A = this chain, B = another copy of it.
Amino acid sequence: MPNKPHAVDSTFHALADPTRCAVVRALSQGNATVSDLARPFDMALPSFTQHLGVLENAGLIVSWREGRSRVCALNAGALRDAEDWMATARREWEARMDRFETHIHKMKKESSDD
């Protein structure tokens, strides 16, 4: 099948979980430490850091050490790539629907002109 995506399916996999979606939303408000990000979740820290690992492997976030903390930041470029993939599929579908509508309209007009 043509158009097999390479990176976007790992982006979608990373976002296929409400905790990870919530982390992306939180990081859209600015960088945060792992402990700050983990605080709202009723989850053991190792499980939470596994979620961060999935996001980082997919390139959606980056992280680095600052003193005794680990700081996370969003990589908005990965979001844009996945958005672009979806927008392309959607626009192709919309263009096809437009052509179909034009065709129907023309057929109806020809039928009424007879």
Segment among A63-71, A84-92, A104-112 that sits at the interface with chain B: A84-92
Whether a CB of chain B sits under 8 angstroms from the CB of A79 is: yes
Please give me the residue from chain B that is nearest to A95 by CB atom: B28
A97 to chain B, nearest CB (A): 8
In the bound complex, do residue B22 and residue A1 qualify as a contact, i.e. CB atoms below 8 Å apart?
yes
Given the complex of chains A and B, what is the CA–CA distance between A45 and B84 in angstroms? 30
> In the bound complex, what is the Cα–Cα distance between A85 and B79 (angstroms)?
10
Q: Can you name the residue of chain B whose Cβ is closest to the Cβ of A24?
A: B89
Beta-carbon nearest neighbor of A91 in chain B: B28
- Chain A contact residues, CB within 8 Å of chain B: 1-5, 8-10, 12-19, 21-30, 40-41, 74, 76, 79-80, 82-83, 85-90, 92-94, 96
